[in-house]
Amino acid sequence: MSRYAINTLLYNLKKDRALRARFIKDPRAAIADADLTDAERAAFIAGDMKTINELGGYLHLVMSVPKIGTHGGH
Amino acid sequence: MGKIVFGGAMSHVLDPDYYQAACGDIGRQKVTAAMDAIAKMGDRFADRRADALIVVADDHMNAFSFNCVPAICVRIGRKVQRMVQDEAEAFDKVLDHMPLEYPLHEALANSILEQGLRSGFDLALSWEAPVDHAFLSPVNTLLGKRPIPPLVPIFVNAFIAPQPTARRCFEFGQHIARVVGGSSWNAGIIATGGLSHFPELLLSRVGETDTVFDRKLIHWMETGEHESLLDLTADELHKTGSHEFLNWMVLLGAITPARAEVRYFGELPRINLAAVEWRLS
């Protein structure tokens, strides 16, 4: 588990609109170069924010990445 | 001799649409009541004609990324920009209607920073960090259409472990009071965030709060028992969803031994909304 790698990717998805667009189109390809474990990569590809959070993804990023994040209940 | 002429603390997502979406009609109703109480606090702040408003709040991985997370950072310079997020959602969207730029009280910020380093506080500094909803939602709600005085934004790392201790935050607040007291400026100070929400920062626990813990904190603030707050641990704050109380600890250090008066406290499933003001002599 890499708290740094997960959160850097979440941060970049939030702040880099082009990366976000590539991720929405093809998540596997968009994060191919990211330094993630298999479990982390699978969670991102599945868009499984709950698992990403449990693996160390910072809650406020998990909740606020546009078009990808979950607002946590709404 | 300068003086701290106003002290207040409040929740920092102050937006009826946000709470309508999160909690339904009761969310809109309660945050509107909280905002009304904060606006009345703003009347009293304006009456005191402060030269500066010190705002103690946390970043939500908007100003700082994982390349550096300062424990406590003083925002210096002449102006500060609002965080801009394209396609903003959730709490980021709260910022959309707010002004893009705010004046800073450069001399007071530099005094807090420089005197802090001379007296043992290893503070970070930034000329560039923008401020997010944690700073601007309270400031704009407090002041409404009144002019916003020069700000001194202070970032506290409330979320990314390891955080500064509650005691250290309190001591830093005492430092702020000494700096203001030795200056020629009168300043207001607000702390933002909370109360209890998002325990353990787990998505699965969004929607839980710890009202018993909040009421304990409020009791200690109302009675001025600040010693009792100094030993709050990171684990307690994490488990109860009280991470942002570290911001309040800075404020408490700055105004101690003043006692708090609760202007609003409202329970929601998502968060306990609060607005608190201190009786300053």
Q: Tell me what the mean pLDDT of segment B103-128 comes to.
A: 98
pLDDT at A1: 52
Decide if A50 and B86 are in contact by the 8 Å CB cutoff: no
Contacts of B92 in chain A (CB under 8 A): 64
pLDDT at A3: 86
H or E element in which residue B281 lies: none
- The answer to whether B64 contacts chain A (CB < 8 Å) is no
Say if residues B18 and B141 touch (Cβ distance below 8 Å): no
Contacts of B204 in chain A (CB under 8 A): 50, 53-54
d(CA B154, CA B202): 26
Residue B280 has pLDDT above 70, yes or no: yes
Residue B45 has pLDDT above 80, yes or no: yes
Mutate to test the interface with B, among A11, A16, A59, A67 (most CBs of B within 10 A): A59
Q: How far apart are the CA of A72 and the nearest CA of chain B, in angstroms?
A: 6
* pLDDT tens digits for range B170-197: 999 999 999 999 999 999 999 999 999 9
Cβ-based neighbour number of residue B116 at 10 Å: 20
The secondary structure of B154-198 as a DSSP string is: EEE--SSSSPPPHHHHHHHHHHHHHHHHTSS-EEEEEEE--SSBS
Decide if B203 and A49 are in contact by the 8 Å CB cutoff: yes
d(CA A62, CA A68): 8
- The answer to whether B100 contacts chain A (CB < 8 Å) is no
Give the one of B22, B61, B202 whose C-beta lies nearest to A60's C-beta: B61
- The A residues from 37 to 56 touching B (CB cutoff 8 Å) are 49-50, 53-54
Residue A73 has pLDDT above 60, yes or no: no
User: Chain-wide mean pLDDT for chain B?
Assistant: 96
The amino acid at residue B161 is A
The amino acid at residue A26 is D
Which chain B residue has the Cα nearest residue A61? B61
Cβ-based neighbour number of residue A7 at 10 Å: 20
Which chain A residue has the Cα nearest residue B60? A60
d(CA B258, CA B251): 11
The model's pTM is 0.96
Decide if B203 and A14 are in contact by the 8 Å CB cutoff: no
* pLDDT tens digits for range B79-114: 999 999 999 988 999 999 999 999 999 999 999 999
Residue A6 has pLDDT above 80, yes or no: yes
Residue A74 has pLDDT above 60, yes or no: no
Contacts of A11 in chain B (CB under 8 A): 61, 65-66
